[in-house]
């Protein structure tokens, strides 16, 4: 009941960081949809390791679609997406069975699964599992694009350096296109460079940094969503917290709204040429869980990568005594950098029941 979500469109993610295969099954896609493998692979490349300041682990993350397509077109049957884990070095991780890493799921997973959990690289809890999430999201985003819906995100903040925020009233497909072409998904290149150098500095110190990803969904018609537990905020938050290291989410003004007055935070209406429209978008495109027709905008906060080179206190589960740990594996010093397409994919997964 854990790694599956959705009622009409069901996405079921499988695999472990150092297992043989990771992947996803997507059940319930409409038939007749062409899947562009190059566009899918471009999505995968955006989260792939091996970029500036990301894990040097070399993974091509080629997505193989082994069911559900006939001649590259969906046939109504579930799609199974497979990604091979090609660069697995289990030796790095063996001793971690005894020494749970602070900030990781190692210890609770050990307790939950009575020590049978796959400890290699965090197993099923690894950020590696965002690869099949991105694959599933990448496919969904191809279908959404045909329905006029675009999802795009940027690094809103990393290591305390802030990018130019999205303008919730005016963020456009052109803005999202620009992000895809940039080497780092930011609007303000200078801010991007400052982010990278701050993160690089933390890495040199054996440490890591956190960040915030901001994401927009464009093209949602007014009135999409269900009340109460089925609202857009409910569905998107449930999906986005599936991305490891996310510790907070906010829509529109979010936490900032708690400090505003109603007269400041409300979005008045005016009659536009296509009907009523809000004149501002403090709501982030959502009222009562339903889309307002304005851009849906949210931010997800990422904690700093818990795998750091600095020595940390932990316990030895074999001898049940205090111990210390230095993590030497390959790790991103700021998970938020590669998380941008993951947040998009999670948003895509959340919307599938409503949009398709």
Q: Minimum Å distance from CB 247 to a second copy?
A: 5
| Sequence-ordered list of residues with C-beta below 8 angstroms from that of 162, at least 6 positions apart, any chain | 156, 191
Among the listed residues 21, 134, 43, 135, the one whose alpha carbon sits nearest the alpha carbon of residue 88: 21
Cα separation of 40 and 24, whole Å? 14
Question: How far is residue 281 from each of residues 29, 167, 291, measured CA to CA in Å?
Answer: 32, 9, 11
Among the listed residues 253, 295, 261, 299, the one whose alpha carbon sits nearest the alpha carbon of residue 278: 295
Cα separation of 343 and 133, whole Å? 9
Q: Which is nearer to a second copy, 123 or 137 (CB)?
A: 123
Q: Which is nearer to a second copy, 75 or 182 (CB)?
A: 75
Q: Helix or strand or coil: residue 345?
A: helix
Q: Which is nearer to a second copy, 79 or 149 (CB)?
A: 79
Q: Minimum Å distance from CB 21 to a second copy?
A: 4
Q: Which is nearer to a second copy, 152 or 252 (CB)?
A: 252
Q: Minimum Å distance from CB 134 to a second copy?
A: 14
Q: Minimum Å distance from CB 107 to a second copy?
A: 6
Q: Which is nearer to a second copy, 180 or 318 (CB)?
A: 318
Q: Minimum Å distance from CB 177 to a second copy?
A: 26
Q: Which is nearer to a second copy, 44 or 80 (CB)?
A: 80
- State the helix-helix crossing angle for 130-146 and 37-47, rounded to 10 degrees: 140
Q: Helix or strand or coil: residue 111?
A: helix
Q: Minimum Å distance from CB 182 to a second copy?
A: 21
Q: Helix or strand or coil: residue 151?
A: strand
Q: Helix or strand or coil: residue 27?
A: strand
First-last CA distance in the chain: 22
């Amino acid at each position: 009941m854990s790694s599956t979500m959705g009622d009409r469109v069901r996405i079921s993610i499988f695999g472990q960081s150092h297992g043989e295969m990771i992947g996803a099954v997507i059940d319930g896609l409409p038939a007749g949809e062409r899947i562009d493998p190059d566009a899918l692979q471009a999505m995968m490349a955006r989260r792939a390791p091996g970029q500036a300041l990301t894990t040097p682990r070399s993974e091509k993350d080629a997505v193989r679609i082994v069911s559900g397509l006939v001649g590259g077109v969906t046939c109504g049957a579930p799609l199974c997406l497979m990604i091979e884990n090609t660069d697995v070095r289990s030796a790095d991780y063996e001793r971690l069975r005894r020494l749970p890493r602070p900030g990781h799921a190692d210890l609770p997973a050990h307790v939950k699964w009575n020590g049978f959990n796959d400890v290699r690289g965090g197993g099923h809890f690894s950020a590696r599992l965002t690869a099949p999430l991105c694959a599933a999201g990448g496919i969904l985003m191809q279908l959404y694009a045909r329905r006029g819906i675009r999802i795009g995100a940027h690094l809103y903040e990393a290591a305390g350096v802030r990018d130019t925020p999205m303008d919730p009233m005016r963020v456009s497909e052109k803005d999202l296109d620009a992000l895809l072409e940039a080497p780092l998904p930011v609007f303000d290149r200078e801010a991007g460079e400052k982010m990278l150098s701050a993160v690089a500095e933390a890495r040199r110190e054996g440490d890591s940094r956190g960040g915030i990803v901001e994401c927009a969904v464009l093209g949602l018609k007014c009135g999409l969503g269900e009340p109460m537990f089925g609202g857009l905020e409910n569905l998107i938050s449930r999906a986005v917290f599936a991305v490891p290291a996310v510790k907070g989410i906010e829509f529109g003004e979010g936490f900032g709204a708690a400090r505003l007055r109603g007269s400041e935070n409300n979005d008045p209406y005016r009659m536009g040429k296509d009907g009523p429209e809000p004149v501002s978008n403090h709501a982030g495109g959502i009222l009562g869980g339903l889309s307002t027709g304005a851009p849906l905008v949210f931010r997800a906060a990422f904690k700093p990568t818990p795998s750091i080179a600095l020595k940390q206190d932990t316990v030895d589960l074999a001898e049940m005594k205090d111990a210390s740990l230095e993590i030497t594996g390959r790790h991103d010093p700021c998970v938020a950098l590669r998380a941008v397409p993951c947040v998009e994919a999670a948003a895509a997964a959340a919307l599938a029941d409503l949009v398709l």
